[in-house]
Amino acid sequence: MPTATNDGVVLHYETDGAGSEDATPVVFVSEAGLGGWSWGWQHAALTGPFETIVWDLRGTGRSDAPPGPYDLETLASDLEAVLADCGARKAHVVAAGFGGAVALTAARRSNRIETLTLLGTAAREDAFALEDLLAPPEDRDALEASLESALSAEFRDAQPEVCEGIVDWRADGDADETGWRAQLAALEGFDATGWLVELTLPTLVVHGTSDELVPADAGHDLARGLPRGEFEPLEGAGHLCFVERSRTVNDRILGFLESYSDEV
């Protein structure tokens, strides 16, 4: 597994698929504490049309976990280091929740990012209520309970085997409490509302209307604040809407990236 280094911190990542010769790769930025498993549904759909890059944020999985608290600027520079190590001059960024705050910060700082797809995220710290997602990887009961706020009751009832698999993946690849809290501390004082207008790149904002951790209204406000933002509500879906409605989300991302490619 390749690694990038940012100021002495080793960041593990994986690439897959070659894409077409002139296709910009897709890089994923995870929700706080969640490992690369969380992108399994999108990875399968986007690899092939695009080269895909999945990395563990500092504090998560196989990446280093230096003492916190972390800040969004450092996490954005980690993303830059991963892209540089991959030789990616440009990238489409797909990010979830807390990862969306990292992606917005990176888009403000870097000219590498061509488009953003933001899932269940917001432009202000006070819209995030991610504590219920925290669960020690070694405590399977706590991991299972945490899914009650992350996934809709309808999905949990209909897909118990998927929920069981998520518990297994979280136990194997998520951050421990120290790493999770070091990441989440980066949201302190986060408020992008005053500078969203600077981000003129195409941005798709997708949000479950039953999201209990980041309200859908916050996603709608985020899209409205972006000069080229599009809002896509997913009726009845929870915070991990890209897991619950993976086919719909994947089709929407592919259509969005295709329309952007036609534009340029």
CA dihedral angle for residue 128, residue 234, residue 14, residue 182, rounded to 10 degrees: 10
What is the predicted pLDDT for the residue at 210?
98
pLDDT tens digits, 176-219: 999 999 999 999 999 999 999 999 999 999 999 999 999 999 99
Report whether 124 contacts 191 (CB < 8 A). Answer: yes
Strand partners, 205: 118, 231
Q: Name beta bridge partners: 207.
A: 233
Kindly report, residue by residue over 223-233, the tens digit of the pLDDT: 999 999 999 99
pTM tops 0.85: yes
Helix spans in 87-152 (H): 98-109, 140-150
b/e sequence 65-103, b meaning 16+ C-beta within 10 Å: beebebbbebbbbbbbbbbebbebeebbbbbbbbbbbbb
CA distance 184 to 69: 8
Residues 6+ apart with CB under 8 A from 167: 140, 143, 144, 147
Tokens of residue 92, six digits = 């489409």
Q: What confidence category does residue 114 fall into, taking pLDDT thresholds of 50, 70 and 90? A: very high
